[in-house]
Structure 1
Amino acid sequence: MAVTMAACSLGLHFSADKNIASVLMLKASSVFDATATTTKPCYINLLNKTRMTSSGITIIPRATPVADVEDGNQGDTDTIPTPIVIIDQDSDLDATVVEITFGDRLGALLDTMNALKNLGLNVVKANVFLDSSGKHNKFCITKADTGRKVEDPEDLEAIRLTIINNLIQYHPESSSQLALGAAFGLVPPKEEVDVDIATHLTISNDGPERSLLYVETVDRPGLLVDIVKIITDINISVESGEFDTEGLLAKAKFHVNYKGKAIIRPLQQVISNSLRYFLTRPSTEESSF
Protein backbone atom coordinates (compact mmCIF):
# COMPACT_ATOMS: atom_id res chain seq x y z
CA MET A 1 0.00 0.00 0.00
CA ALA A 2 1.55 3.24 -1.14
CA VAL A 3 0.97 6.19 1.15
CA THR A 4 1.08 9.72 -0.24
CA MET A 5 2.57 12.30 2.06
CA ALA A 6 0.32 15.32 1.46
CA ALA A 7 -1.82 15.87 4.56
CA CYS A 8 -5.42 17.07 4.52
CA SER A 9 -7.69 17.51 7.55
CA LEU A 10 -11.06 15.80 7.54
CA GLY A 11 -13.37 15.34 10.52
CA LEU A 12 -14.04 11.91 11.97
CA HIS A 13 -17.76 11.82 12.60
CA PHE A 14 -19.35 9.19 14.79
CA SER A 15 -23.00 8.61 15.67
CA ALA A 16 -24.90 5.91 17.49
CA ASP A 17 -28.18 6.81 15.80
CA LYS A 18 -27.57 4.97 12.57
CA ASN A 19 -28.96 1.53 11.90
CA ILE A 20 -26.51 0.09 9.45
CA ALA A 21 -28.56 -3.04 8.99
CA SER A 22 -31.55 -1.08 7.71
CA VAL A 23 -29.63 0.52 4.87
CA LEU A 24 -27.56 -2.48 3.85
CA MET A 25 -30.51 -4.40 2.48
CA LEU A 26 -31.83 -1.64 0.18
CA LYS A 27 -31.98 -2.92 -3.37
CA ALA A 28 -30.94 -0.85 -6.34
CA SER A 29 -33.66 0.44 -8.64
CA SER A 30 -31.69 2.43 -11.18
CA VAL A 31 -28.95 1.63 -13.65
CA PHE A 32 -25.43 2.53 -12.52
CA ASP A 33 -24.02 5.65 -14.12
CA ALA A 34 -20.26 5.38 -14.56
CA THR A 35 -19.88 9.02 -15.62
CA ALA A 36 -18.96 10.41 -12.21
CA THR A 37 -16.14 12.64 -11.10
CA THR A 38 -12.51 11.68 -11.36
CA THR A 39 -10.17 11.53 -8.41
CA LYS A 40 -6.69 12.67 -7.48
CA PRO A 41 -4.10 11.00 -5.25
CA CYS A 42 -3.60 12.26 -1.68
CA TYR A 43 -3.41 11.38 1.98
CA ILE A 44 -6.35 11.53 4.37
CA ASN A 45 -6.18 12.92 7.87
CA LEU A 46 -8.93 11.78 10.22
CA LEU A 47 -9.12 14.16 13.16
CA ASN A 48 -9.30 12.71 16.64
CA LYS A 49 -12.61 12.44 18.49
CA THR A 50 -12.66 11.24 22.08
CA ARG A 51 -15.30 9.42 24.11
CA MET A 52 -17.27 8.24 21.15
CA THR A 53 -20.44 6.26 21.68
CA SER A 54 -21.00 2.61 20.82
CA SER A 55 -21.50 1.81 17.16
CA GLY A 56 -24.77 -0.05 17.60
CA ILE A 57 -24.00 -2.34 14.66
CA THR A 58 -26.83 -4.77 13.90
CA ILE A 59 -26.20 -8.05 12.12
CA ILE A 60 -27.94 -7.97 8.76
CA PRO A 61 -30.29 -10.81 7.77
CA ARG A 62 -29.11 -13.82 5.85
CA ALA A 63 -28.83 -13.09 2.18
CA THR A 64 -31.25 -14.60 -0.30
CA PRO A 65 -29.50 -16.46 -3.12
CA VAL A 66 -30.23 -15.37 -6.67
CA ALA A 67 -30.70 -17.65 -9.62
CA ASP A 68 -28.51 -15.72 -12.03
CA VAL A 69 -24.84 -15.10 -11.46
CA GLU A 70 -23.02 -12.34 -13.31
CA ASP A 71 -20.44 -14.66 -14.87
CA GLY A 72 -22.73 -17.68 -14.99
CA ASN A 73 -20.23 -19.80 -13.07
CA GLN A 74 -21.98 -20.25 -9.72
CA GLY A 75 -22.15 -23.97 -10.33
CA ASP A 76 -18.41 -24.40 -10.73
CA THR A 77 -17.01 -27.24 -8.67
CA ASP A 78 -13.45 -25.94 -8.49
CA THR A 79 -11.88 -24.69 -5.28
CA ILE A 80 -13.76 -21.73 -3.88
CA PRO A 81 -11.44 -18.71 -3.78
CA THR A 82 -11.12 -16.57 -0.66
CA PRO A 83 -13.03 -13.27 -1.00
CA ILE A 84 -10.98 -10.14 -0.29
CA VAL A 85 -12.45 -6.67 0.24
CA ILE A 86 -10.01 -3.77 0.74
CA ILE A 87 -11.12 -0.29 1.84
CA ASP A 88 -8.26 2.13 1.20
CA GLN A 89 -8.26 5.67 2.63
CA ASP A 90 -4.63 6.39 1.72
CA SER A 91 -4.25 6.39 -2.02
CA ASP A 92 -6.80 8.96 -3.17
CA LEU A 93 -7.45 12.58 -2.20
CA ASP A 94 -11.13 12.81 -3.09
CA ALA A 95 -12.48 9.27 -2.82
CA THR A 96 -12.46 6.12 -0.76
CA VAL A 97 -10.91 3.37 -2.89
CA VAL A 98 -12.46 -0.10 -2.70
CA GLU A 99 -10.94 -3.23 -4.21
CA ILE A 100 -12.73 -6.58 -4.43
CA THR A 101 -11.07 -9.86 -5.37
CA PHE A 102 -12.75 -13.27 -5.64
CA GLY A 103 -10.74 -15.45 -7.99
CA ASP A 104 -12.15 -15.02 -11.50
CA ARG A 105 -15.79 -15.24 -10.38
CA LEU A 106 -16.71 -11.56 -10.10
CA GLY A 107 -18.58 -9.88 -12.92
CA ALA A 108 -19.42 -6.22 -13.44
CA LEU A 109 -20.67 -5.75 -9.83
CA LEU A 110 -23.47 -3.45 -11.03
CA ASP A 111 -25.82 -4.66 -8.29
CA THR A 112 -23.22 -3.88 -5.62
CA MET A 113 -22.58 -0.43 -7.04
CA ASN A 114 -26.30 0.34 -7.13
CA ALA A 115 -26.68 -0.83 -3.53
CA LEU A 116 -23.90 1.55 -2.53
CA LYS A 117 -25.61 4.38 -4.42
CA ASN A 118 -28.69 3.73 -2.29
CA LEU A 119 -26.53 4.47 0.76
CA GLY A 120 -26.14 8.02 -0.54
CA LEU A 121 -22.84 7.40 -2.30
CA ASN A 122 -21.42 8.08 -5.73
CA VAL A 123 -19.54 5.13 -7.23
CA VAL A 124 -16.96 5.53 -9.98
CA LYS A 125 -15.79 2.34 -11.65
CA ALA A 126 -12.03 2.69 -11.96
CA ASN A 127 -10.59 -0.46 -13.48
CA VAL A 128 -10.51 -4.25 -13.55
CA PHE A 129 -7.26 -6.17 -13.77
CA LEU A 130 -6.33 -9.84 -13.59
CA ASP A 131 -3.26 -11.40 -12.02
CA SER A 132 -2.31 -14.72 -10.44
CA SER A 133 -4.56 -14.06 -7.43
CA GLY A 134 -7.65 -13.44 -9.56
CA LYS A 135 -9.74 -10.61 -10.96
CA HIS A 136 -9.43 -7.33 -9.07
CA ASN A 137 -12.33 -4.88 -9.28
CA LYS A 138 -11.26 -1.44 -8.07
CA PHE A 139 -13.57 1.55 -7.86
CA CYS A 140 -13.85 4.86 -6.01
CA ILE A 141 -16.61 6.06 -3.67
CA THR A 142 -17.62 9.56 -2.59
CA LYS A 143 -20.55 10.94 -0.61
CA ALA A 144 -23.31 12.06 -2.94
CA ASP A 145 -24.19 15.15 -0.88
CA THR A 146 -20.67 16.54 -0.57
CA GLY A 147 -18.69 14.89 -3.36
CA ARG A 148 -15.96 14.08 -0.82
CA LYS A 149 -14.56 10.79 0.38
CA VAL A 150 -16.25 8.81 3.13
CA GLU A 151 -14.99 9.75 6.61
CA ASP A 152 -17.40 8.28 9.14
CA PRO A 153 -16.26 4.81 10.33
CA GLU A 154 -19.90 3.68 10.51
CA ASP A 155 -20.36 4.62 6.84
CA LEU A 156 -17.17 2.75 5.96
CA GLU A 157 -18.44 -0.31 7.81
CA ALA A 158 -21.78 -0.02 6.00
CA ILE A 159 -19.89 0.00 2.69
CA ARG A 160 -17.93 -3.10 3.71
CA LEU A 161 -20.97 -5.08 4.84
CA THR A 162 -23.00 -4.03 1.79
CA ILE A 163 -20.28 -5.33 -0.53
CA ILE A 164 -19.95 -8.61 1.36
CA ASN A 165 -23.72 -9.09 1.49
CA ASN A 166 -24.02 -8.63 -2.28
CA LEU A 167 -21.08 -10.94 -2.85
CA ILE A 168 -22.83 -13.64 -0.86
CA GLN A 169 -26.10 -13.10 -2.74
CA TYR A 170 -24.44 -13.71 -6.10
CA HIS A 171 -21.97 -16.31 -4.83
CA PRO A 172 -23.64 -18.07 -1.86
CA GLU A 173 -20.82 -20.61 -1.82
CA SER A 174 -18.49 -17.82 -0.67
CA SER A 175 -20.19 -17.53 2.74
CA SER A 176 -18.28 -20.60 3.92
CA GLN A 177 -15.06 -18.69 3.24
CA LEU A 178 -16.01 -15.64 5.29
CA ALA A 179 -16.24 -15.13 9.04
CA LEU A 180 -19.30 -12.99 8.30
CA GLY A 181 -20.87 -16.02 6.62
CA ALA A 182 -21.92 -17.11 10.10
CA ALA A 183 -23.76 -13.80 10.52
CA PHE A 184 -25.68 -13.43 7.27
CA GLY A 185 -24.49 -16.08 4.84
CA LEU A 186 -26.12 -19.31 3.74
CA VAL A 187 -23.28 -21.60 4.78
CA PRO A 188 -21.22 -20.75 7.87
CA PRO A 189 -17.45 -21.35 7.84
CA LYS A 190 -16.42 -24.95 8.46
CA GLU A 191 -13.72 -23.82 10.85
CA GLU A 192 -13.75 -21.39 13.73
CA VAL A 193 -10.65 -19.34 14.37
CA ASP A 194 -9.52 -18.85 17.96
CA VAL A 195 -9.64 -15.08 18.39
CA ASP A 196 -6.82 -15.12 20.98
CA ILE A 197 -4.51 -16.95 18.60
CA ALA A 198 -5.58 -15.04 15.49
CA THR A 199 -5.25 -11.55 17.01
CA HIS A 200 -1.91 -9.86 16.24
CA LEU A 201 -1.00 -6.27 17.10
CA THR A 202 2.13 -4.33 16.22
CA ILE A 203 3.03 -0.65 16.52
CA SER A 204 6.15 0.78 14.90
CA ASN A 205 7.44 4.29 14.34
CA ASP A 206 6.96 5.73 10.88
CA GLY A 207 9.00 8.90 11.25
CA PRO A 208 9.03 11.45 14.08
CA GLU A 209 5.40 12.53 13.67
CA ARG A 210 3.45 9.28 13.40
CA SER A 211 3.40 5.53 14.00
CA LEU A 212 2.02 2.58 12.03
CA LEU A 213 -0.52 0.43 13.88
CA TYR A 214 -1.27 -3.03 12.46
CA VAL A 215 -4.23 -5.06 13.70
CA GLU A 216 -5.17 -8.57 12.59
CA THR A 217 -8.08 -10.40 14.18
CA VAL A 218 -11.16 -12.54 13.52
CA ASP A 219 -13.67 -10.61 11.43
CA ARG A 220 -17.18 -9.71 12.63
CA PRO A 221 -19.81 -7.05 11.88
CA GLY A 222 -18.91 -3.67 13.34
CA LEU A 223 -15.23 -4.47 13.74
CA LEU A 224 -13.96 -1.40 11.86
CA VAL A 225 -16.10 0.93 13.97
CA ASP A 226 -14.99 -0.69 17.22
CA ILE A 227 -11.27 -0.51 16.38
CA VAL A 228 -11.47 3.20 15.56
CA LYS A 229 -13.50 3.87 18.72
CA ILE A 230 -10.97 2.06 20.95
CA ILE A 231 -8.08 4.00 19.44
CA THR A 232 -9.70 7.43 19.66
CA ASP A 233 -11.08 6.81 23.16
CA ILE A 234 -7.51 6.90 24.44
CA ASN A 235 -6.82 10.20 22.66
CA ILE A 236 -4.91 8.73 19.72
CA SER A 237 -5.41 10.52 16.39
CA VAL A 238 -6.05 8.31 13.35
CA GLU A 239 -4.51 9.89 10.25
CA SER A 240 -5.25 7.33 7.57
CA GLY A 241 -5.87 3.68 7.12
CA GLU A 242 -6.63 0.57 5.12
CA PHE A 243 -9.09 -2.11 6.22
CA ASP A 244 -8.89 -5.53 4.55
CA THR A 245 -11.44 -8.33 4.81
CA GLU A 246 -9.69 -11.57 3.87
CA GLY A 247 -11.81 -14.64 4.44
CA LEU A 248 -12.06 -15.33 8.16
CA LEU A 249 -9.74 -12.49 9.16
CA ALA A 250 -9.76 -8.71 9.09
CA LYS A 251 -6.51 -6.77 8.75
CA ALA A 252 -6.24 -3.07 9.48
CA LYS A 253 -3.34 -0.64 9.06
CA PHE A 254 -3.62 2.85 10.55
CA HIS A 255 -1.21 5.74 10.71
CA VAL A 256 -1.65 7.20 14.19
CA ASN A 257 -0.12 9.89 16.35
CA TYR A 258 -0.41 11.40 19.80
CA LYS A 259 -0.51 15.20 19.74
CA GLY A 260 1.29 15.26 16.41
CA LYS A 261 4.10 12.95 17.49
CA ALA A 262 4.95 9.29 17.05
CA ILE A 263 3.60 7.01 19.77
CA ILE A 264 6.14 6.46 22.59
CA ARG A 265 6.66 2.94 23.93
CA PRO A 266 4.58 3.23 27.14
CA LEU A 267 1.61 4.53 25.14
CA GLN A 268 2.15 1.83 22.51
CA GLN A 269 1.66 -0.71 25.28
CA VAL A 270 -1.56 1.02 26.38
CA ILE A 271 -2.93 0.89 22.83
CA SER A 272 -1.94 -2.75 22.42
CA ASN A 273 -3.46 -3.79 25.75
CA SER A 274 -6.70 -1.90 25.09
CA LEU A 275 -7.16 -3.37 21.63
CA ARG A 276 -6.30 -6.89 22.73
CA TYR A 277 -8.72 -6.70 25.66
CA PHE A 278 -11.68 -5.47 23.61
CA LEU A 279 -10.98 -7.72 20.62
CA THR A 280 -10.43 -10.97 22.51
CA ARG A 281 -12.61 -10.73 25.62
CA PRO A 282 -15.59 -13.14 25.63
CA SER A 283 -18.93 -11.49 24.86
CA THR A 284 -21.89 -11.82 27.23
CA GLU A 285 -25.49 -11.44 26.21
CA GLU A 286 -27.41 -8.77 28.11
CA SER A 287 -30.25 -11.22 28.65
CA SER A 288 -27.97 -13.35 30.83
CA PHE A 289 -27.88 -10.72 33.59
Structure 2
Amino acid sequence: MAMANAYLTSSFTSIRLRPSDFSSVKSFPTTKSHLYLLVSPRIDSTRNKNVMMCASVDGVDSMSSSSFSLKSGPETDYVPMPIVLIDQDTDPDATIVQLSFGDRLGALLDTMKALKDLGLDVLKGTVTTENSVTQTKFFITRLSTGRKVEDPDVLERIRLTIINNLLKYHPESSERLAMGEAFGVKPPEKKIDVEIATHNHVKEDGPRRSLLSVETADRPGLLLEMIKIMSDINVTVESAEIDTEGLVAKDRFHVNYRGAALNSSLSQVLVNCLRYYLRRPETDEESY
Protein backbone atom coordinates (compact mmCIF):
# COMPACT_ATOMS: atom_id res chain seq x y z
CA MET A 1 0.00 0.00 0.00
CA ALA A 2 1.27 3.46 -0.82
CA MET A 3 2.54 5.85 1.79
CA ALA A 4 -0.22 7.98 3.31
CA ASN A 5 -0.24 11.28 5.16
CA ALA A 6 -3.41 12.03 7.15
CA TYR A 7 -3.93 15.17 9.16
CA LEU A 8 -6.83 15.32 11.59
CA THR A 9 -7.20 18.89 12.80
CA SER A 10 -8.20 19.93 16.29
CA SER A 11 -11.40 21.52 14.97
CA PHE A 12 -12.65 18.10 13.84
CA THR A 13 -14.05 19.59 10.65
CA SER A 14 -11.67 18.45 7.93
CA ILE A 15 -9.13 15.94 6.77
CA ARG A 16 -6.38 16.80 4.33
CA LEU A 17 -5.25 13.90 2.20
CA ARG A 18 -3.04 13.55 -0.82
CA PRO A 19 -5.07 11.80 -3.53
CA SER A 20 -1.83 10.41 -4.94
CA ASP A 21 -1.15 8.62 -1.67
CA PHE A 22 -4.03 6.19 -2.15
CA SER A 23 -3.70 3.77 -5.01
CA SER A 24 -6.82 1.78 -4.27
CA VAL A 25 -9.23 4.37 -2.85
CA LYS A 26 -11.60 6.09 -5.26
CA SER A 27 -13.35 8.32 -2.73
CA PHE A 28 -12.88 9.31 0.87
CA PRO A 29 -15.97 10.76 2.62
CA THR A 30 -15.67 13.44 5.28
CA THR A 31 -18.26 15.14 7.47
CA LYS A 32 -18.12 17.45 10.44
CA SER A 33 -19.05 14.75 12.92
CA HIS A 34 -17.15 11.81 11.46
CA LEU A 35 -13.47 11.56 10.68
CA TYR A 36 -12.36 8.62 8.58
CA LEU A 37 -8.87 7.25 8.83
CA LEU A 38 -7.40 4.85 6.29
CA VAL A 39 -4.90 2.57 7.97
CA SER A 40 -1.67 2.20 6.05
CA PRO A 41 1.69 0.67 6.97
CA ARG A 42 2.97 4.12 7.92
CA ILE A 43 1.41 7.52 8.46
CA ASP A 44 3.60 10.55 9.10
CA SER A 45 2.13 13.01 11.61
CA THR A 46 5.20 15.07 12.34
CA ARG A 47 4.40 17.97 10.01
CA ASN A 48 1.42 19.33 11.89
CA LYS A 49 1.47 20.18 15.59
CA ASN A 50 -2.33 19.99 15.74
CA VAL A 51 -2.49 16.35 14.64
CA MET A 52 -4.93 14.50 16.89
CA MET A 53 -4.59 10.96 15.62
CA CYS A 54 -2.54 8.95 13.20
CA ALA A 55 -2.27 5.22 12.63
CA SER A 56 0.45 2.74 11.86
CA VAL A 57 -0.15 -0.98 11.82
CA ASP A 58 3.51 -1.80 12.39
CA GLY A 59 3.79 0.60 15.34
CA VAL A 60 7.13 2.01 14.15
CA ASP A 61 5.91 5.57 14.49
CA SER A 62 4.28 4.99 17.87
CA MET A 63 4.18 8.20 19.89
CA SER A 64 3.56 8.93 23.54
CA SER A 65 -0.01 9.06 24.74
CA SER A 66 0.27 12.80 25.35
CA SER A 67 0.68 13.35 21.62
CA PHE A 68 -2.77 11.89 21.06
CA SER A 69 -4.67 13.48 23.91
CA LEU A 70 -8.04 14.83 22.87
CA LYS A 71 -8.36 16.70 26.13
CA SER A 72 -8.18 20.43 25.47
CA GLY A 73 -9.34 21.92 28.76
CA PRO A 74 -7.80 21.91 32.23
CA GLU A 75 -7.34 18.64 34.08
CA THR A 76 -10.25 17.58 36.25
CA ASP A 77 -10.70 14.88 38.86
CA TYR A 78 -13.59 13.34 36.99
CA VAL A 79 -12.71 10.02 35.33
CA PRO A 80 -15.05 9.12 32.43
CA MET A 81 -16.53 5.70 31.87
CA PRO A 82 -14.25 3.49 29.76
CA ILE A 83 -16.22 1.44 27.24
CA VAL A 84 -14.94 -1.39 25.04
CA LEU A 85 -17.44 -2.84 22.58
CA ILE A 86 -16.81 -5.81 20.28
CA ASP A 87 -19.51 -5.98 17.60
CA GLN A 88 -19.92 -9.11 15.47
CA ASP A 89 -23.27 -8.26 13.87
CA THR A 90 -23.01 -4.88 12.15
CA ASP A 91 -20.41 -5.75 9.48
CA PRO A 92 -20.65 -9.13 7.70
CA ASP A 93 -16.96 -9.18 6.82
CA ALA A 94 -15.18 -7.66 9.81
CA THR A 95 -15.26 -7.56 13.58
CA ILE A 96 -15.78 -4.02 14.87
CA VAL A 97 -13.96 -2.97 18.02
CA GLN A 98 -15.13 0.31 19.53
CA LEU A 99 -13.27 2.18 22.24
CA SER A 100 -14.31 5.30 24.13
CA PHE A 101 -13.04 7.00 27.25
CA GLY A 102 -14.88 10.29 27.42
CA ASP A 103 -12.81 13.06 25.84
CA ARG A 104 -9.54 11.21 26.53
CA LEU A 105 -8.17 8.97 23.85
CA GLY A 106 -4.54 8.15 23.24
CA ALA A 107 -1.90 5.56 22.37
CA LEU A 108 -3.91 4.46 19.35
CA LEU A 109 -0.81 3.33 17.49
CA ASP A 110 0.08 1.06 20.37
CA THR A 111 -3.45 -0.33 20.44
CA MET A 112 -3.27 -1.15 16.74
CA LYS A 113 0.17 -2.72 17.15
CA ALA A 114 -1.19 -4.86 20.00
CA LEU A 115 -4.06 -6.02 17.78
CA LYS A 116 -1.64 -6.92 15.01
CA ASP A 117 0.42 -8.92 17.50
CA LEU A 118 -2.69 -11.05 18.02
CA GLY A 119 -2.62 -12.00 14.33
CA LEU A 120 -5.21 -9.42 13.30
CA ASP A 121 -5.41 -7.01 10.39
CA VAL A 122 -6.85 -3.53 10.99
CA LEU A 123 -8.70 -2.70 7.77
CA LYS A 124 -9.72 0.84 8.67
CA GLY A 125 -10.58 3.07 11.59
CA THR A 126 -13.13 5.77 12.24
CA VAL A 127 -13.30 8.49 14.88
CA THR A 128 -16.59 10.06 15.97
CA THR A 129 -17.00 12.91 18.44
CA GLU A 130 -20.41 13.55 19.96
CA ASN A 131 -21.25 15.50 23.12
CA SER A 132 -17.55 15.66 24.08
CA VAL A 133 -17.28 11.86 23.91
CA THR A 134 -14.80 10.50 21.40
CA GLN A 135 -15.34 7.02 20.01
CA THR A 136 -12.82 5.12 17.92
CA LYS A 137 -13.77 2.09 15.86
CA PHE A 138 -11.38 -0.45 14.38
CA PHE A 139 -12.58 -2.83 11.67
CA ILE A 140 -10.49 -5.97 12.03
CA THR A 141 -10.12 -9.41 10.45
CA ARG A 142 -7.92 -12.43 10.99
CA LEU A 143 -4.62 -11.85 9.21
CA SER A 144 -4.41 -15.51 8.18
CA THR A 145 -7.89 -15.77 6.63
CA GLY A 146 -9.01 -12.22 5.89
CA ARG A 147 -12.28 -13.01 7.68
CA LYS A 148 -13.89 -11.67 10.84
CA VAL A 149 -12.88 -13.06 14.21
CA GLU A 150 -15.00 -16.01 15.34
CA ASP A 151 -12.83 -17.68 17.97
CA PRO A 152 -14.10 -16.74 21.48
CA ASP A 153 -10.58 -17.05 22.86
CA VAL A 154 -9.31 -14.44 20.39
CA LEU A 155 -12.28 -12.17 21.11
CA GLU A 156 -11.49 -12.29 24.83
CA ARG A 157 -7.83 -11.60 24.12
CA ILE A 158 -8.84 -8.57 22.02
CA ARG A 159 -10.97 -7.26 24.88
CA LEU A 160 -8.28 -7.76 27.50
CA THR A 161 -5.57 -6.32 25.23
CA ILE A 162 -7.50 -3.08 24.77
CA ILE A 163 -8.25 -2.85 28.50
CA ASN A 164 -4.55 -3.45 29.24
CA ASN A 165 -3.68 -0.57 26.92
CA LEU A 166 -6.19 1.65 28.68
CA LEU A 167 -4.58 0.85 32.02
CA LYS A 168 -1.12 1.50 30.59
CA TYR A 169 -1.69 4.79 28.77
CA HIS A 170 -4.56 6.09 30.90
CA PRO A 171 -3.72 4.84 34.42
CA GLU A 172 -6.58 6.89 35.82
CA SER A 173 -8.96 4.44 34.11
CA SER A 174 -8.01 1.75 36.63
CA GLU A 175 -10.50 3.11 39.16
CA ARG A 176 -13.31 2.52 36.66
CA LEU A 177 -12.27 -0.95 35.40
CA ALA A 178 -12.55 -4.36 37.04
CA MET A 179 -8.97 -5.19 36.03
CA GLY A 180 -7.81 -2.08 37.86
CA GLU A 181 -8.15 -4.07 41.10
CA ALA A 182 -5.18 -6.28 40.20
CA PHE A 183 -3.28 -4.40 37.50
CA GLY A 184 -4.09 -0.71 37.88
CA VAL A 185 -2.50 2.05 39.90
CA LYS A 186 -5.72 2.70 41.78
CA PRO A 187 -8.41 0.06 42.44
CA PRO A 188 -12.08 0.91 41.94
CA GLU A 189 -13.54 2.70 44.93
CA LYS A 190 -16.87 0.93 44.56
CA LYS A 191 -16.96 -2.78 43.85
CA ILE A 192 -19.82 -4.40 42.01
CA ASP A 193 -22.04 -6.73 44.02
CA VAL A 194 -22.20 -9.77 41.75
CA GLU A 195 -25.49 -10.92 43.24
CA ILE A 196 -27.14 -7.60 42.40
CA ALA A 197 -25.36 -6.94 39.10
CA THR A 198 -26.02 -10.30 37.44
CA HIS A 199 -29.04 -10.39 35.13
CA ASN A 200 -29.57 -12.71 32.18
CA HIS A 201 -32.55 -13.64 30.05
CA VAL A 202 -33.40 -15.31 26.77
CA LYS A 203 -35.98 -14.14 24.25
CA GLU A 204 -37.07 -15.29 20.82
CA ASP A 205 -35.24 -13.93 17.81
CA GLY A 206 -36.95 -15.77 14.98
CA PRO A 207 -37.59 -19.50 14.47
CA ARG A 208 -33.95 -20.48 14.15
CA ARG A 209 -32.26 -18.61 16.97
CA SER A 210 -32.70 -16.89 20.32
CA LEU A 211 -31.15 -13.79 21.84
CA LEU A 212 -29.34 -14.22 25.15
CA SER A 213 -28.60 -11.05 27.13
CA VAL A 214 -26.14 -11.15 30.02
CA GLU A 215 -25.21 -8.38 32.44
CA THR A 216 -22.76 -9.09 35.25
CA ALA A 217 -19.63 -7.87 37.03
CA ASP A 218 -16.68 -7.93 34.64
CA ARG A 219 -13.65 -10.15 35.21
CA PRO A 220 -10.88 -11.66 33.08
CA GLY A 221 -11.94 -14.81 31.23
CA LEU A 222 -15.64 -13.94 31.49
CA LEU A 223 -16.42 -14.45 27.80
CA LEU A 224 -14.70 -17.83 27.65
CA GLU A 225 -16.51 -18.93 30.77
CA MET A 226 -19.92 -18.07 29.33
CA ILE A 227 -19.13 -19.76 26.01
CA LYS A 228 -18.06 -22.91 27.87
CA ILE A 229 -21.27 -22.93 29.91
CA MET A 230 -23.33 -22.75 26.72
CA SER A 231 -21.25 -25.41 25.02
CA ASP A 232 -21.72 -27.76 27.97
CA ILE A 233 -25.49 -27.78 27.37
CA ASN A 234 -25.08 -27.95 23.55
CA VAL A 235 -26.14 -24.35 22.89
CA THR A 236 -24.37 -22.90 19.84
CA VAL A 237 -23.29 -19.26 19.72
CA GLU A 238 -23.81 -17.77 16.26
CA SER A 239 -22.56 -14.26 17.01
CA ALA A 240 -21.95 -11.96 19.92
CA GLU A 241 -21.78 -8.33 20.96
CA ILE A 242 -19.37 -7.93 23.87
CA ASP A 243 -19.74 -4.68 25.76
CA THR A 244 -17.52 -3.74 28.70
CA GLU A 245 -18.76 -0.61 30.47
CA GLY A 246 -16.40 0.11 33.30
CA LEU A 247 -16.92 -2.56 35.96
CA VAL A 248 -19.90 -4.15 34.20
CA ALA A 249 -20.05 -6.55 31.24
CA LYS A 250 -23.15 -6.30 29.06
CA ASP A 251 -23.11 -9.04 26.42
CA ARG A 252 -25.58 -10.26 23.82
CA PHE A 253 -25.41 -13.62 22.08
CA HIS A 254 -27.39 -15.01 19.18
CA VAL A 255 -27.74 -18.68 20.05
CA ASN A 256 -29.46 -21.81 18.80
CA TYR A 257 -29.94 -25.43 19.74
CA ARG A 258 -29.37 -27.77 16.79
CA GLY A 259 -30.32 -25.05 14.32
CA ALA A 260 -33.50 -23.97 16.11
CA ALA A 261 -34.48 -21.39 18.71
CA LEU A 262 -34.27 -22.44 22.34
CA ASN A 263 -37.51 -23.66 23.85
CA SER A 264 -38.67 -22.42 27.23
CA SER A 265 -37.19 -25.37 29.15
CA LEU A 266 -33.73 -25.05 27.64
CA SER A 267 -33.83 -21.28 28.03
CA GLN A 268 -34.48 -21.70 31.74
CA VAL A 269 -31.65 -24.24 32.04
CA LEU A 270 -29.27 -21.81 30.34
CA VAL A 271 -30.33 -18.92 32.56
CA ASN A 272 -29.94 -21.02 35.70
CA CYS A 273 -26.47 -22.26 34.67
CA LEU A 274 -25.27 -18.76 33.91
CA ARG A 275 -26.70 -17.41 37.15
CA TYR A 276 -24.87 -20.07 39.16
CA TYR A 277 -21.47 -19.66 37.47
CA LEU A 278 -21.53 -15.88 37.14
CA ARG A 279 -22.38 -15.34 40.79
CA ARG A 280 -19.36 -17.28 41.98
CA PRO A 281 -17.03 -14.98 43.96
CA GLU A 282 -13.95 -15.85 41.90
CA THR A 283 -13.12 -17.14 38.45
CA ASP A 284 -11.18 -20.38 38.18
CA GLU A 285 -7.62 -19.94 36.92
CA GLU A 286 -8.22 -22.13 33.88
CA SER A 287 -10.76 -19.58 32.63
CA TYR A 288 -8.04 -16.95 32.04
Q: State the TM bucket, normalised to the shorter chain.
A: 0.7 to 0.9
1:189 alignment counterpart:
188
TM-score (norm 1): 0.73
Structure 1: runs of 5+ lacking an equivalent: 1-31, 37-65
**Residues 131-157 of structure 1: CA deviation (Å, up to 9, x unaligned):** 126111011111111111111111111
1:138 alignment counterpart:
137
Identity of aligned residues (%): 58
Contact conserved, 2:208 with 2:260, CA < 8 A, in 1? Answer: yes
2:268 alignment counterpart:
269
Amino acid at match of 1:34: V
1:284 Cα deviation from its structure 2 partner = 8.4
2:250 alignment counterpart:
251
Contact conserved, 2:38 with 2:125, CA < 8 A, in 1? Answer: no
Amino acid at match of 2:227: V
Over 3 Å counting, the alpha-carbon distance change for 1:33 and 1:121 in structure 2 is: farther
**Residues 113-172 of structure 1: CA deviation (Å, up to 9, x unaligned):** 011111111112321111126111011111111111111111111111111111111110
User: Take 1:284 and 1:190, find their aligned partners in 2: how far apart are those partners?
Assistant: 21
Structural RMSD (CA): 2.3
Q: Secondary structure at the match of 2:215?
A: strand
1:70 alignment counterpart:
68
Over 3 Å counting, the alpha-carbon distance change for 1:285 and 1:215 in structure 2 is: closer
**Residues 186-209 of structure 1: CA deviation (Å, up to 9, x unaligned):** 111001111011000111111111
1:34 alignment counterpart:
39
**Residues 57-96 of structure 1: CA deviation (Å, up to 9, x unaligned):** xxxxxxxxx7846217598224210000000111112211
Contact conserved, 1:203 with 1:213, CA < 8 A, in 2? Answer: yes
Over 3 Å counting, the alpha-carbon distance change for 1:91 and 1:284 in structure 2 is: closer
Matches within 5 A, 1:1-289: 34-35=39-40, 68=66, 70-71=68-69, 73=71, 76-107=75-106, 109-132=108-131, 134-283=133-282
TM-score (norm 2): 0.73
State the structure with more CA Rg: 2
Contact conserved, 2:71 with 2:103, CA < 8 A, in 1? Answer: no
1:282 Cα deviation from its structure 2 partner = 3.2
Task: Give the ranges of 4+ consecutive aligned residues of structure 1 lying more than 3 Å apart after TM superposition.
Answer: 66-69, 72-75, 282-286
User: Take 2:65 and 2:128, find their aligned partners in 1: how far apart are those partners?
Assistant: 26
User: Take 2:110 and 2:283, find their aligned partners in 1: how far apart are those partners?
Assistant: 36
Contact conserved, 2:192 with 2:217, CA < 8 A, in 1? Answer: yes
User: Take 1:169 and 1:134, find their aligned partners in 2: how far apart are those partners?
Assistant: 20
User: Take 1:137 and 1:79, find their aligned partners in 2: how far apart are those partners?
Assistant: 21
Amino acid at match of 1:101: S
Q: Secondary structure at the match of 1:217?
A: strand
The count of residues paired between Structure 1 and Structure 2 equals 226
Structure 2: runs of 5+ lacking an equivalent: 1-36, 42-63
1:217 Cα deviation from its structure 2 partner = 0.3
User: Take 2:179 and 2:38, find their aligned partners in 1: how far apart are those partners?
Assistant: 30
User: Take 1:273 and 1:281, find their aligned partners in 2: how far apart are those partners?
Assistant: 13
Amino acid at match of 2:39: A
Over 3 Å counting, the alpha-carbon distance change for 1:284 and 1:154 in structure 2 is: closer
Task: Decide which moves more: 146-155 or 104-113.
Answer: 104-113
User: Take 1:113 and 1:152, find their aligned partners in 2: how far apart are those partners?
Assistant: 19
